[in-house]
Structure 1
Amino acid sequence: MKKGLSFLLVFVILINMPVQVFAQQDTASEEIKVYVNDTAIAFDVPPIFVKNFTLVPVRAVFEALGAKIEWDNYTKTVTITRGTEVRVQPGNRIAMVNNIPNVMEVPAVGINGRIMVPIRFISEAIGANVDWVNETKTVFINDLAEQKDLGNIQNGGRFASDSNYYYHILPDGVLLRESIAAKHKEKISDNILQDLHIINDWIYCIGKDKGTNKVIRMKKDGSEKEIIVNKPVNSMQIINDWIYYSESTDESVLYRTKTDGTETAKIVDNGDFSYKNWFVLNGWVYYFNTQELTISRIRIDGSSKRNLTNRIMGFSPSEKIYGIKLIDKEFLYIVIHKDITDSNRIKYTSGLYRIPIKGGELTKITDKVPMSVNMDDDWLYLAVETLESNYKLIRCKKDGSEVFTINEYKKGDIPKSIYINDALIFYTVIRGEETPEELLFCMGPYGNNIQQYTWIYGKDYYSVKKVLTDAYAAYKSLNSFHTVQISTVEKDKEIGSIIYESTINRTRSLFYKKTVVDEQSHFETWLDQETLYSKKSEETHWDIAKINKTDAVKMQKNIFDYIQPTDELCNNLNIEETEESYILKGNGAFPSLISSISPYLGFDEGINLDLAELVIKINKQKKYIEQLNLSIRYNSAIMENGEIKQFINNYQYINSQFNSAYINIPYSINQTIKAKEKADENIENGMEKFIEGKYEEAIKFFDTAIGFYNKAHNAYLYKGKSQYNLGKYKEAVLTYSRYHEINPSDTEVFALMGMCYLKMSDLPKAEEMGLETLKYSQSVNAYNLLGSVAYAKEDYIKATEYFNEAVLLDRKNYTPHINLASTLYAMGNFTRCIEAVNYSLINFPKDRDLLYVKAQCLTNLGKSEQAIKVYEDILSNNPSNDFVTMTYIAREYELLQNYQKAKEYADRAKAVYPDYSLLKYLLDKLDYNLSATSSQKLVDFIKENYLYYKQSEDSNKNFEAILEKGDWFTVEDVRNLVDSIKNSGDNLTGLLSGFEYEYYFNSENSFSINTRQNENYIYVMVNNLYPGTGVKFAEFVQSIENPDEKALIIDLRNNNRGLSDEADKILDALLPECTPGYIIDRDGYVSTYTSGKWHTPFGKIGILVNENTAGSAELLALGLKTFASNITIIGNKTAGKGVGQVLYLDRNKKFAVFLVNHYWNVLQENIEGKGIEPDIYADESDRDYSKAIDKFLENN
C-alpha cells in the first residue's frame, strides 16, 4: 500500500511541473536540423531545446516515419501509432506506451499551435534509432534495417524480384520478367544494363539513352519510361527514396537525387565511387577515401567523417587496393587485392576481410580473393579459384567458419555474379573462348536442383524459328539471285539515297555490284574468283586487284547471310501470314545482328546504335526471302554544345531472279587487262633504273606506264619517290596526290608528302601530313616525319617522343634509331644518348654512324678511354683505310696527353689521306707537344692566355727558373710561378693539385653539382664550373618531369672558380633563343655565346648568391637574370669579378691551373667592381636563406 501511494505521489508531482519546465526552454537561435530516413524535414515551427533535450513538432517528424498522428482535443492528448501506441499530453512528463506509463525527461509542450514532443523518447518508443550530432546540431532518425537486395546490386544488379516476378537483364540488354508461378517470360525493354531496383510500381535501373548510361525508371510492364538522372552514370544505389550515384566522367564525387529526379545535390567528394565500390546504409556513406587512403564513412549531410581503417602505405589513390563488397548491420565486408601495410605497420595479405561498421580491427575471413560474393542473413556465398585453376562456389559463416563447397563450376567456366533470392541462388558464368556467352543457373542453398536458364520469351518464338530455319536453308541453296538495296541515310540535316544492285552467280564464282548515289554517277564492281575489278562510271580503265580467298568470300556476303534462326530474332519477331507470304516483324536493339551487318550498312566502326525495326517477307512456297525492310535509329557523337542527336536510316532489300540471274564479264575489262600488262612492263623497267639511282630515266618509264594504264598506282608512287630523290619536291607532292586518288587505301603516302614539305621547310604542312597519316594507322614513317619536324623546330622533347614511338613500332627500322640518337645528342643529354645507342646496337651491331654518336657522347662526358674503345671497334671494320676514325682516336689520346699513342694513329691516318683538315691541325699540335718540355708548355700557356700578363724582368726570371728544370719541376714550383705572375687584384687565378685535383678530375663521380627534389621546388648546388659541370646540369634538369610547373633553385654561393664555357652550357640549357653574353680577350677579340631555341623551362628560377660568388658564376647569374623573365636573385651582392677563366691541365704531374683569360659582358654590361644586387636580401645564416627561399616560393 505504501508503494502504491509513493508512485501516486510522484505522478502528482510530475503532473504539476509543466510551468517550471517550460520556463527553462532554451531559446538559443541556432537552427536544429532533423533528418528522417535520410530526408531533411522542413518545419513551420522550428525544433527547440529544453534542458538539453530536443523537442520537435510531432506531426512533421513522425508522419515522415510512417506513424499515424491523432489529436484528442477533449483530453488534450496526442497519440502516435506505429505498431506501438504512444500517448502524451502537453505539460505532462508521463507518456503512456502501450498503456504502460513511462517518465519522460521533459514533457511535451504546445507552441504556435504545434505540439512539440521529445524526439528521442518518441522515436525509440516506436522502434527508430536516434543520433545527435552536436557539431552541426542535427538529429538523425533511421529505421535500422539491412537492404536485402544490396548484395544483388553489388553483383551487377541484373537480377531482382518482387512477390510475383523475377526480373532479368540479359547479356544483350533485354530486360524481361518471369512469372514466379507460371514461369512465363515476357520482354519489358531494350538497352538496359544493370542496377535493378524494384520500388513499389516502378523499376529503376541504369540503361542506355542516346548511347549514354543513365538512370531511368519505368513501370513494371515497361511503360512510362523516363530519364531520372540525365548524366552519364555507371553505378547507383536507391535507399529511402533517394538515388545515390556517381557520374562516370568523375567518379570521385557522390551525388544523390530523389527518385523523381528532384533535389539533386553533391554528398561526398575525394572518394572512389567507381563501379560497385561504395555503399549507403542507415544514413551513412561507406567508401574508399582517396585523399587519406583509408576506408571511411560519413553521414549523408557530410558530417561525422571517420576513417574505419588506417592509411595504406606505398600505394597511389588510383590503384584499386580495396574492393568494398557487402554490408550488414554490424560489418563491412571488403576484399584486399594486394598485400598492403598500413600506417601502423600492420601487414595484410590479399583476401576477404570484414570490419565493424563503426571502425575497429580488420578480420580476415578467407585467403581467397572471390570472383564474386553475396550473402543472406547467416551465410556468405563466394566464387573462388581452386588449386587446379578451376572455380567453385562455397558458402561459409560470416566469420569464415563452417566452409562448404556447394557447387563446382564446369572446367573453363569463369564465374561472374551471384544473386540471392530467399532460398534460391542464381549465378552466372562466362562460357567459351572464341565466342564467349553468359549463362544463368539457379540452385538451392546447398547446391541442389541446379537448372540452366533458357531465354525463350518471344510469343511466336517456335513459329519464327521454323520459318527462319527454312528460309536460311533456301538461301544457302541458291545458285544465283539479284538484289536491289535502297538506303535512305540521314546525316547533317540532309537525307541522301543510295541504290545498290548486286547479282551473284555462285556456280561461276561471279559477283557484280553497282552503286548509285543520289541518282548521279555510279560505281561498278566485278569479282571473278579472287580478282576484283572496279571503276566509276566516267572512267575508262578498271582498277584491278588480287584479293585472298577469305576476302573474296566476305565480299560476296550480304545481310541475308545473317538472317538465321537465332534466339535474338526468334524472341523479338512476331509472325503474320498472308496467302502467299510469311511476314516477320519486330523491334529491339538486335545487338548481335546489327553488329554483324554494320559493315554492309555503311556504319563506321563504333557507331552508337539505339533501336531497330525489322520486317522480313518470305515466300511461303519456295521459302525465299523476297523483301527485307530495316530501320535503324542511331546517335551522333557528343557535339560542342553537349547535345547528342538521333538519326534514322532506312534500308530496303528486294530479291528476285532466284536461280535465274545471268551475268557475264564485260569486254572493257579485257581491254583494261591488256593495257595493264603493258604498263607493268614499263614499271618493271622503271624500277630497275630507280634501284640504280637513275631517277630521270626511271620517270620516263613510269610516265609511259601511266600512258598505257592511268591507274598504275605503283608508277605514280615510284615516280613521286624519284622526283623526291631528285629534289623536285613540289612535283613529287603532285604525283603523290594523284597516287592517293587512285589508291586511297595507302595512307602512308601522306607521310611521303610530308617529307617533301619538310624538305621545302614548310613545317606546318609537313606536320599536318604526319598527323593525317596517324589518323589511319600507327606509322613508322609518320612518327619519323613528325619527329623530324619537331627536331627542326628544336622541340627536342617532342622529337624524342615521336622517334621512340617509331622505334617501338619497328625495331628493325634503322631511321628512327639514328634520329633518336641524333636528337638526344643535340639536346646535350649524352648519357641518355648512349643508352639509346646501346639499345639500337642490339639490332644494328657494328653500325658506323651509331658507334660514332656513342663515341662523341663519351668524349663530351670526358670519358676518352671509353671513347677510344668505341673508335677501335669502328676501325676494326676497315683497319687499313679508315683515316677519319684513326684521326679521332689520335684526338682522344691527345686529350689524355698520351702524345706518343696519338702520334701513332695520326701517322697511320696521314699515310692514307694527309690532307684531312682535322688531322693536319692535330699533327701540328702533336709536333709541339712532343718536342716541348712540360715547363715550356706551361710557360707558353700563361704567356698566351693570361689576361693581365705583362712582360717584365721579374716575370722573365720566374719563367726562366722553371724552364731550366725542363720536365723535372714540382707542383710547388708551379704554385710559386702562378703566385709570382698573378696581378695583385686577381684572386681567381689559382692552382688545383693533390686531393682536390684527384677529387675533381680523376673521380668517376666528381661532385660538381648536388641536387635534391622537394615537393615544391628543385634544388641544384653548383659547386664549381669545372669541365663537365654544364653537361651534368643540363642532363639533370632534362630529367625533371613537368619542369614548367616547378621552381628551380640554383645555389651559386662560394662558386668563384671555373670556366665561362661551362656557364654558357647551363645558360643554353635554361634560356630560349638569345645571345646571353660574349667574351673579350686581352687583344680585343670577341667571341659570342648563343643559346638555342630548345631549353628546359621552369615555372620560376631562384639563384642563391653571396659575396664569394664570382667570375663565371656571375656570368651565369646575370645571363639568366637578363634573358629570362622569371628570375629572382637571393642573398648578398656578388663579388663583382667580370672575368672568366681557362684551364691548363697536366695529367702526368696531376695539377690544373685556372687562369683568368678574358672579360665577359652581358648586353654590353660588365659587373667588374660592381657585383650583382639581389632581389631578396639574406645574410649568411642558413636560417635567413631559408626564409628568403620561402618568400621566393610564395611569390607568384
Structure 2
Amino acid sequence: MKLKKMMIISFCILYTLLLTSCGDATQEENSKAYEYNDKGLALMDEEKVEEAIEYFNKSLNCFEWYDKDFEKLTKNLKKEKEVFDAPLNNLSWAYTELGEYEKSLEYIELALLVLPNDEEEYINKADALFELSRYEEAFKNYDEALKKNCDSIYAHFGKGKIYFENEKYKEALEEFNQYLESEKDDFEIAKYKIYCHLYLNEEEKALNYANKLINENKDNYDACKVKGLVLKLTSDYETIKSFYEEAAKKFPEHLDAQIDLGRFYYKDEHYNKSLDYFTKLIKKYPKNVDLYTWVIYNYSALNQYDKALEYGEKALKINKDSSTLYNAIGNVYIDKTAYMESIKYFDEAIKLDPNYENAYINKLYALYTGKRYSKCIEFGKASEVKFQSVYNIPWFMGESYLELDQCHEAIKEYKKSLDLKPDNDEILSSIAYAYLILEDYENAKVYVEKSLKINSENSEALHIKDLLEKKQETIGKQIKTFFSDNYLYKEQSQDLDKKLSTYLDKNNISGREIAQVISKVKIPDDIFTFVIAGKDYDSFIESEEDDIAYKSYDKDLCYMRIKNFSSNTGNRAIEILDKIKDTKNKTLIIDLRENYGGDTKSANDILDALLPKCVTSTLIFRDGYNYNYYSDASQVSFKKIYILVNENSASASELLTLGLKTYLKNVIIIGRNTFGKGVGQHVFEDKKRKIMVFVVSHYWNVRETNIMQKYVKPDVYIERNDLKDFLNVIKER
C-alpha cells in the first residue's frame, strides 16, 4: 500500500510541474484535484477506504471531462490528450480493498484509456482479476507491469499467487523469492514460501529457511511464527508444544506470542487450559477484544454458551467495530443450534469487513442448517460473485437446491464446486445422488465410480452404487424388494415374499397390475399402503405444487392452509413464516382440515421452525430401529397458535398437531376428533413409468405418544364446516 502511494504521489508532483504554464483558473482547478487525491491517499494509508473514495471522486469532479456516466466518460477520455488519471487508478485500488472487484475493473479500464500506462495500473487490474479467479487475464497484466518495471515486486508476488493457486509450487517459489529479495522482512509472504517448500516435499529447506529468518531477526516474534508454521505441519505434538511455550517465555511482552500459545491449547482441544490462559491475559490486557474472542470460543467448545455470550457482551462494550468478535458470537449461536439468531452477527461482521470470507461461509452454513434453503441460495449467489474460488459456496447452494427437489440446478452448483475441488469424493457422490433422483442412471454411475476411486469407503457413494445395481432389475423386482424390505406389517401378511415373487417377477408389468398386486398382499385393514400410477400420478404431482396457501385476515391474524404434505411443503411453510413480521404479537392459524397427511419430514420441518430445541418425533421401524427428528434452538414464536382439524386430518397432519400441542402452551385445537393414523410411509417412485408405491413402514411417536387407532382430541369442538365458523370461534376467544 505505502509503495503504491509513493509512486502515485510522485506522478502527481510531476504532472503539477507540467501544468505550470496553464492559466490561473486551470492551475487552481488542477491544484484542488491533486489536493483531494492526496487526501484520499492519506486516508487509504489509514485504512479508511470508504472515506478515501469520497476524496478520489471529489478529485475527478474538478475536471470538465469527468462524467458519472461511464459511457460518456469513456468517450471523453479517448478524446483528451492530457488527463490526470491517478484518481481513477486509486478508485480501482480502493474498490479492490473493499472487495468490489467488478467495480474496481470498471475504473482501471478507464485509467488505462489514458496513455501512457504505468506499472501500477496493470497491477491494480491484475489484483482485481485475481480476486475474481480470472487467473489467466491477471497473469498477463502482471507481465505487463513487469514490462514497465522488471523489478516490480507486487507483480512478482501476484504471479506467485497465481502459480500457487494452480499448484505450480516450483514456479510460485521463484516468484516469491523475487519478491522477498527486496522485502526480506515480509513474514506473511515468507509463509507462502514455506508452503511451497512443504508442498514440494522439501521439509528440510522449509525448516532451514525458517531458522535463517529467526537468526536474522532474533528479536522479532513474526520470524518465530514462520517456524511455528513449519513445525505445525511437520513435527510431533510435544515438539510443537515446547516451541510455543518457549516462544511465549522469550517474548513475554509480545501479545501475539501469548495468543499463539493459547490458540495452540485451543486447537489441541485443551479448552479448559486455553480458557484459563486467555482469562489471565484479559486481566493484563483488559481492552484487547481478540482475547475475549478466544474466551468466547473456549466457553462455546465447553458447551457453556451463556458464559460465551456474556463475554461477547462485555467485548462489544469495549469495541463494536471488530468483525472477528461478531463472527465469534455468531458461531456461539451456531454451536447452540440457534441458527437464525446467528445471522445478524455474521451480517454485522460482513458489514464491518466486506471481504471476511469466514463470515460468509458461516452465514451460508446457518441458513442451510436452519432449513432456509431459498435464502441460502440467494445469499450464495451474491457470495460467489465476491469469492469465485471458494468451493463450499456453490456446495451449500447445491445442497439447498437438492432439498428443494431442484436437481438440475443442484448439479450445476455441485459441478462449480467440483471445478474448484476436483478430487473431492463427497462432491462427486452428491452429483451422483442428484442424477439418481433424476433417474439418469448412466451419469449417476459415472460420478459414483469417480467418488469411490478417490475414497472406496465413501458411505453415500456405496449406498448409491447399491441402489444403481437394484435399478438394473425389472420394475416388478424393484418393487418386490422395496415392499419386502419396508412393509411394517410384513409378519402379519402370510407368505408375503412368495406372493410378491409370484406376481412381480414377470417382465413388462403395468402400473395397474402392480396396484392390484399390492392390494392383494397387504393386510386387509391397511388403508395407507397403495399405488398411484398413470393419470392419477400426473394429478398427484400437480396437486403437490398447490399444497399450501397463506392469507392475512387482519394485522394480527395469520392464516395458513396446508392441503397435503409433499416433499416441499415444509420449505414453503417456513418461507411463509419467515415473511411474517412481529410474530410474537400475532396469532397463527394452521388449517389442516381434509389433510390426509403425506411427507413426514415436511411436518417435522414445520415443527422445527415453530418449536424450541427438542425431539419433534420418533420413527419406529419393523426391526426396532428408531430415528429421531430434532428441532433446533431457533424458533418462530407466536402469541397464539390455533389448529383447525376434522375427522379427515390424518398422519402428518396429526403429527404436526400433536407436536405443537405437546411442546407449546399457547396451542388451541379446534374442530373434531382426527383420523387416528399413527403410522408413516416410505415411497417408491419411477418417474418415467409414472408409478408411486406408498408403503406403511413405521410408527411415529411424539414424546412416546402414538395415536394409532386413537385420535387427537380438539380443545374446542365444532360441528360446522365453514371456515368463517372456525374464525368466529377464534375471534371470540
The structural deviation recorded for 1:690 is: 3.1
1:702 pairs with one of 247, 254, 263: 247
- Counterpart in the other structure of 1:905: 447
Q: Is the 8 A contact 2:330 2:342 kept in 1?
A: yes
- d(CA) in 2 for partners of 1:770, 1:680: 36
The structural deviation recorded for 1:1053 is: 1.1
Deviations 1:1101-1150 (A, max 9, x none): 11111111122322222222222211111112222222222211111112
Q: Is the 8 A contact 1:690 1:722 kept in 2?
A: no
Secondary structure of 2:574's match?
helix
Equivalent AA in structure 1 for residue 488 of structure 2: L
- Counterpart in the other structure of 1:826: 369
Q: TM-score, normalised by structure 1?
A: 0.40
1:1112 and 2:652 correspond: yes
2:621 pairs with one of 1081, 1106, 1115: 1081
- Counterpart in the other structure of 1:849: 392
Q: TM-score, normalised by structure 2?
A: 0.64
Equivalent AA in structure 2 for residue 1009 of structure 1: I
Q: Is the 8 A contact 1:1025 1:1059 kept in 2?
A: yes
- Counterpart in the other structure of 1:1033: 573
- d(CA) in 2 for partners of 1:1110, 1:741: 61
The structural deviation recorded for 1:994 is: 4.5
Q: Is the 8 A contact 1:1137 1:1171 kept in 2?
A: yes
Secondary structure of 1:984's match?
coil
- d(CA) in 1 for partners of 2:266, 2:658: 48
- d(CA) in 2 for partners of 1:841, 1:1114: 42
2:461 pairs with one of 905, 919, 933: 919
- d(CA) in 2 for partners of 1:1084, 1:778: 54
Q: Give structure 1 stretches of 5+ with no counterpart.
A: 1-676
- Change in 2 beyond 3 A, CA 1:870/1:1193: same
Q: Is the 8 A contact 1:1000 1:1006 kept in 2?
A: no
Secondary structure of 2:676's match?
coil
The structural deviation recorded for 1:1028 is: 1.9
Secondary structure of 2:456's match?
coil
1:1094 and 2:631 correspond: no
The structural deviation recorded for 1:1059 is: 2.8
The structural deviation recorded for 1:845 is: 1.0
- Counterpart in the other structure of 2:729: 1191
1:839 pairs with one of 382, 387, 393: 382
The structural deviation recorded for 1:936 is: 0.9
- d(CA) in 2 for partners of 1:746, 1:1010: 52
Deviations 1:767-801 (A, max 9, x none): 23322332223111111111112222333232111
- Counterpart in the other structure of 2:405: 862
Q: Is the 8 A contact 1:773 1:779 kept in 2?
A: no
The structural deviation recorded for 1:1084 is: 4.6
- d(CA) in 1 for partners of 2:453, 2:264: 40
The structural deviation recorded for 1:999 is: 5.5
Deviations 1:29-53 (A, max 9, x none): xxxxxxxxxxxxxxxxxxxxxxxxx
- d(CA) in 2 for partners of 1:1088, 1:737: 39
Secondary structure of 1:788's match?
helix
- d(CA) in 1 for partners of 2:463, 2:496: 34
1:981 and 2:487 correspond: no
- d(CA) in 2 for partners of 1:744, 1:1093: 32
- Counterpart in the other structure of 2:545: 1006
- Change in 2 beyond 3 A, CA 1:1181/1:916: closer
Q: Is the 8 A contact 2:341 2:634 kept in 1?
A: no
Flag the structure with higher strand content.
1
- d(CA) in 2 for partners of 1:741, 1:1128: 53
- d(CA) in 2 for partners of 1:731, 1:952: 63
1:896 and 2:438 correspond: yes
Equivalent AA in structure 2 for residue 1192 of structure 1: I
- Counterpart in the other structure of 1:683: 221
Secondary structure of 1:765's match?
helix
- d(CA) in 2 for partners of 1:1127, 1:1040: 18
Q: Is the 8 A contact 1:1000 1:1008 kept in 2?
A: no
- d(CA) in 2 for partners of 1:690, 1:1089: 44
Counterparts in 2 of 1:689-1088, with a 5 A limit? 689-692=227-230, 694=232, 695-696=240-241, 698-706=243-251, 711-733=253-275, 736=278, 746-775=288-317, 776-879=319-422, 881-930=423-472, 932-949=473-490, 950-952=492-494, 960-964=502-506, 966=507, 968-994=508-534, 997-998=537-538, 1001=541, 1006-1014=545-553, 1015-1088=555-628
Secondary structure of 1:681's match?
coil
Structure with bigger RCO (C-alpha 8 Å, 6+ apart): 2
Equivalent AA in structure 1 for residue 389 of structure 2: K
Q: Is the 8 A contact 1:958 1:980 kept in 2?
A: no
Q: Is the 8 A contact 1:828 1:1031 kept in 2?
A: yes
The structural deviation recorded for 1:886 is: 1.9
- d(CA) in 2 for partners of 1:1076, 1:721: 38
2:661 pairs with one of 1114, 1118, 1121: 1121
1:1157 and 2:700 correspond: no
The structural deviation recorded for 1:701 is: 5.0
Deviations 1:666-694 (A, max 9, x none): xxxxxxxxxxx999625244222233354
Deviations 1:440-468 (A, max 9, x none): xxxxxxxxxxxxxxxxxxxxxxxxxxxxx
Secondary structure of 2:219's match?
helix
Equivalent AA in structure 1 for residue 727 of structure 2: I
Q: Report % sequence identity.
A: 29
Equivalent AA in structure 1 for residue 465 of structure 2: L
Q: Is the 8 A contact 2:647 2:672 kept in 1?
A: yes
Deviations 1:202-246 (A, max 9, x none): xxxxxxxxxxxxxxxxxxxxxxxxxxxxxxxxxxxxxxxxxxxxx
- d(CA) in 2 for partners of 1:716, 1:1085: 50
Q: Is the 8 A contact 1:784 1:816 kept in 2?
A: yes
- Counterpart in the other structure of 2:181: none
Q: Is the 8 A contact 2:565 2:603 kept in 1?
A: yes
Equivalent AA in structure 1 for residue 639 of structure 2: G
Counterparts in 2 of 1:50-65, with a 5 A limit? none
Equivalent AA in structure 2 for residue 828 of structure 1: K
1:1144 and 2:684 correspond: yes
Flag the structure with higher helix content.
2
Equivalent AA in structure 1 for residue 726 of structure 2: A
- Counterpart in the other structure of 2:104: none
- Change in 2 beyond 3 A, CA 1:1010/1:1127: same
- Change in 2 beyond 3 A, CA 1:1073/1:885: closer
Equivalent AA in structure 2 for residue 1030 of structure 1: G
Q: Give structure 2 stretches of 5+ with no counterpart.
A: 1-214, 233-239
- Change in 2 beyond 3 A, CA 1:693/1:876: same
- Change in 2 beyond 3 A, CA 1:744/1:1194: same
CA RMSD of aligned residues (A): 3.0
- d(CA) in 2 for partners of 1:802, 1:1175: 41
Equivalent AA in structure 2 for residue 1176 of structure 1: V
Which has the higher Rg, Structure 1 or Structure 2?
1
